[in-house]
Amino acid sequence: MKQKPTIETVAEKAGVAPSTVSRYFNGHYVSKATKARLSEVVAELGYSRSWTARNLSLGRRGCIGVAVDSSHDLWFTELLVGIEEELSTHEMTLALNSLELSGRYDNSGVFRWIQERHVDGLIIAKSQRRERPLLNAAMDGRLPIVLVAPDEAIAHAHVVRCDNYAAGRAVAEHLVALGHKKIAFAGGPQHSVDSKHRLQGLRDGLARHGISIKSTDIFSCGSYEAKAGIEFAQEFLAKPLVTTAIVMGNDALALGFMRVAQQSGIRIPGKISISGFDNIPEGALWWPGLTTVAQPMREMGRSACRILFEVIESQRQREQIQDARESIQFPMELVARESTGRPAS
C-alpha cells in the first residue's frame, strides 16, 4: 500500500526544511519561488494536511459555538442550515447552546465556552440586553464573535441583520394597494429593535398615503413565539374588530394569531387580513398562506459564518480587527399570499 505523504515528504521533495512547509500551510511568509515550488509538490504528491493538526499547531479547537434562545425557533432553524452549509467547507465542527433549553435562562454553558476557550469563535442569534455579559466576556477574551439580528443596537461587534425598516414600508404599500386604511400592529418584546424598525417603516409607509395607525392599535406580544401570538389573539379578538388588517411582528406570532382567528370562525382575509415577517417555511404550508416579508435566513447564516472564519484566520492581527467591525444588512422581499386581501366593503 502506498504510504500517505507527510510534511517531511513534501519538504524533501521540494528541497526545503519541514519548518518552511509548515510556514507555507499556516499562511506565514515564504518566498514567491518557494511558494510556487511547494504548490507544485503538494499537487504532485496529493498531500492533504490534517485540519486537526493545523488547528493544534495554531492553538485552536476546530469548533465554533452557536447560541440562541431556543433551537426550536423556526427562524433559527433556517439560519442554522446556512451556518452548516458554510461550515461544511471549512472542516470545522459546531457546538450548539440553547440559552432557554429548560424553560429558564441559563448562559453558563456559553460562558464556559468563552472562559475555557472551548470554541474558536462564537455566533449569537437574536442577542438581547441580557447577553451583554457574554459579549463583554468574549471581547475581553478576544474571542471572535458575530451577532445575527441582535435585538438592540450594537456598536462594537460584527453584525449581520436585515433592513427591517424597508420591510415595514413594503407591508404598508401592500396593504394600501389592497385598500386597507384601518391597520393595527403587534410586535415582539417592547425593547426589540426589529419590532421598532418594522413599526416605523410601516407607519412611514402608510403616512405617504395619508394613513396613520392609532396608538391604541399598537401592541407588544412580549415575545416572538407563536404562544405569545395565540395569547394576544385571544384578548384582541374578544373585542369587536375595528381594524381590517393587522401586521404581526414575525411569522410565528402571525401563525399563532391565525390559529385563534380560525378557531373563532373569523374569516381570513374576509374579516381581517394578517401579515408577518421572516418567511418561515410553515407560513407557505398554512391555509390561507401567510403574507410575509422574507428574510434570507440561510444566506445570513452563511454570511455570519464567513465573517467569523475571516476573523479567526486573521487572529494574528487582532488589534486591527478589534477596530474593523463589519456590519452587513440584507434586503427583505415581500411575499404576498392568501392571508391578505381587500377589506370587506
Is residue 233 located within the same domain as residue 122? no
Average confidence score pLDDT of the chain: 86
Q: What is the model's pLDDT at position 211?
A: 96
Question: Per-residue pLDDT averaged across 24-45, rounded?
Answer: 75
pLDDT band at 301 (very low <50, low <70, confident <90, very high): very high
Task: Specify if 344 maps to a domain.
Answer: no
Residue 292's pLDDT is 98
Distance of CA 241 to the CA centre of its chain: 35
Please name the residues in contact with 244: beta carbons below 8 A apart, sequence gap of 6 or more: 180, 181, 182, 183, 272, 273, 343, 344
- Length of the chain equals 345
Same structural domain, 177 and 263: yes
Does residue 196 share a domain with residue 281? yes
Q: Are both 158 and 301 inside the same structural domain?
A: yes
Q: Which secondary structure element, helix H or strand E, spans residue 121, and what is its range? A: strand 121-125
Examine the domain organization and report whether 307 and 266 are in the same domain.
no
**Confidence band (pLDDT; 50, 70, 90) for 50?**
low
What percent of the chain has a predicted confidence (pLDDT) above 90?
A: 51
- Matching residue, cell 458575530: 146
Do both 308 and 205 map to the same domain? no
- Residue 57 within any structural domain of the chain: no
Q: Which residue has the higher pLDDT, 331 or 141?
A: 331
Cβ neighbours, 10 Å, residue 24:
23
Q: Radius of gyration (Cα) for the chain, nearest Å?
A: 25
Judge residue 214's burial from the number of C-beta atoms within 10 Å of its C-beta, 0-12 exposed, 13-18 middle, 19 or more buried: exposed
Confidence of residue 339 (pLDDT cuts 50, 70, 90): very high
Q: Please, what's the b/e burial string for 290-302 (b: 16 or more CB within 10 A of its CB; e: otherwise)?
A: bbbbbbbbbbbbb
pTM, two decimals, is 0.76
Confidence of residue 73 (pLDDT cuts 50, 70, 90): confident
Q: Are strands 273-275 and 245-248 parallel, antiparallel or unpaired?
A: parallel
Of the two residues 38 and 241, the one the predictor is more confident about is: 241
Domain shared by 174 and 277, yes or no: yes
Give pLDDT tens digits for 156-195.
789 999 999 999 999 999 999 999 999 999 999 888 889 9
- One domain, residues 28 and 137: no
**CATH number of domain containing 265:** 3.40.50.2300
Classify residue 191: in a domain, yes or no: yes
Q: Which domain holds residue 250?
A: 164-295
Q: Kindly state whether residue 335 falls inside one of the protein's structural domains.
A: no
- Same domain? For 187 and 272 the reply is yes
Domain-located, residue 55 = no
Quick one: 193 and 285 in the same domain?
yes
Q: Between 114 and 11, where is the model more confident?
A: 114
Residue 274: per-residue pLDDT: 98
Q: Is residue 158 part of a domain?
A: yes
Label residue 55 exposed, middle or buried (CB < 10 Å: 0-12, 13-18, 19+). middle
Distance, in Å, from the CA atom of 121 to the CA atom of 58, rounded to the nearest integer, reads: 14
Cell of 240: 369587536
Residues 119 and 140 in one domain: yes
Provide, for the chain, the percentages of residues in helix, strand and coil under a 3-state DSSP scheme, each rounded to the nearest 5. 45, 15, 40
Which pLDDT does position 323 carry in this prediction?
A: 47
- The H-assigned helical ranges of the chain are 7-14, 18-25, 32-45, 51-57, 74-87, 108-115, 132-140, 164-178, 193-207, 226-236, 251-263, 281-285, 297-313, 318-323
Per-residue model confidence as pLDDT tens digits over 229-281: 999 999 999 999 999 999 999 999 999 999 999 999 999 999 999 999 999 99
Domain count, the chain: 3
User: Could you tell me if 187 and 275 lie in one domain?
Assistant: yes
For residue 337, being part of any structural domain is answered with no
Is 101 inside any structural domain?
yes
